[in-house]
Amino acid sequence: MIFFRRLGRHIREGFVGVKRHFGMAFSAASAVTITLLLVGVFGVFAINMAFLTQEIEQSISLVALIDYDVNDPAKITAMKNEITELENIDHVVYRTKDEEFDFYNKEYPEMVEFSENYRADNPFHDAFLIYMVDGQNMEAIKTRVSQMSGISSVQDGGSNTYTLINILHTVRNAGGILILALVALAVYLIYNTIKITIATRKDEIWIMRNVGAKNGYIRAPFLVEGVIIGVFGSLLPIALIVYGYYELYKMTNGVLAGVVSLIPVWPFLLYVGLALLIIGVFVGFMGSYISVCKYLRLTR
């Protein structure tokens, strides 16, 4: 009970401190708002780019051609299951040679009149289309499948496929680095703003130390103030990003420029809002903690 009474008092003192020093608190909250807005906008962009590149990568497949003499359905099912159980395999699709022939005609309609002459003696193989979780493992999977009994060859699309996969990974990694850099920038800017806010109250800290208040008792209201600043500073970025993304998704029907599929609104925006709120609370708390601890050490 004593703990909860003290906690309630610290929370009340935190709100009183924000009210009493509203100008500095507003300045710190504004810094949180601006930096979190940047983090949110670029974060949403980077996450959508990562989602897009992942979709493109997972659409790339290996084509494993089955030997002509393999026509037992049980054998084909066993082969499919063996490939599916390999590491980093998303799913495997079996296509008969007739389906392969139709697919060729669909891809090259100008050749239909010529190719139809060969339908009776279909030269295509039955095949497995192998879709991977991560295209970086394509070469290893190709080697493993090529060694399987009943597989004639495995086609991977050539060097251009590997180049595309590397580009997609680079885009995803660059997006992740961008988000981390913006979060680090946000922490730095917000910490410096809160540090100035607390520096203006160093005399208040000094007086409390000299009347015998313990460090934890002095520190707690400032930490509450930091959390309050973080929460209020994150509300506007959350509202703007949630509303803006929702309107963009509705206006484009989830497809930007006719080719880029946006992440569905729900539950994506919930996660974005929670992430921004957590970042705001964290940097507000840490900014206050580091700053007030500095002055507590100086008054020791």
pLDDT at 35 over 80: yes
pLDDT at 268 over 90: yes
What percentage of the chain exceeds 90 in pLDDT?
40
pLDDT classification of 2: cutoffs 50, 70, 90: low
pLDDT at 260 over 80: no
CA nearest neighbour of 64 among 47, 52, 82, 50: 82
* Of the residues 110, 141, 158, the one at which a domain ends: 158
* Of the residues 121, 137, 158, the one at which a domain ends: 158
Same domain, 116 and 214: no
Mean pLDDT of the chain: 86
Specify the number of domains making up the chain: 2
* Of the residues 128, 158, 188, the one at which a domain ends: 158
User: What single-letter amino acid sits at 66?
Assistant: I
pLDDT classification of 17: cutoffs 50, 70, 90: confident
pLDDT at 116 over 70: yes
Same domain, 138 and 258: no
Same domain, 196 and 256: yes
pLDDT at 109 over 90: no
pLDDT at 7 over 70: no
Instruction: Please give the pLDDT value at position 298.
Output: 53
pLDDT at 119 over 90: no
Same domain, 189 and 41: yes
Mean predicted confidence (pLDDT) in 56-65: 89
Instruction: Please give the pLDDT value at position 172.
Output: 84
Same domain, 149 and 169: no
Same domain, 196 and 257: yes
Same domain, 189 and 249: yes
Same domain, 196 and 230: yes
Same domain, 51 and 108: no
Mean predicted confidence (pLDDT) in 267-283: 93
**Distances in whole angstroms, Cα of residue 237 to Cα of each of 28, 175, 197:** 14, 20, 22
Same domain, 135 and 170: no
Instruction: Please give the pLDDT value at position 220.
Output: 86
Same domain, 221 and 94: no
Q: Which domain holds residue 186?
A: 2-56+165-298
* pTM of the full structure: 0.77
User: What single-letter amino acid sits at 115?
Assistant: S
What percentage of the chain exceeds 70 in pLDDT?
94
The tens digit of pLDDT for each residue in 204-222 reads 777 777 787 787 877 888 8
pLDDT at 66 over 60: yes
Cβ-in-10-Å burial (0-12, 13-18, 19+) of 237 comes to buried
11-50 exposure pattern, b = at least 16 Cβ within 10 A, e = fewer? eebbeebbeebeebbeebbebbbbbbbbbbbebbebbbbb
The tens digit of pLDDT for each residue in 123-150 reads 999 999 999 988 888 999 999 999 999 9
Give the domain CATH number at 65.
3.30.70.3040
Residue with the bigger pLDDT between 160 and 264: it is 264
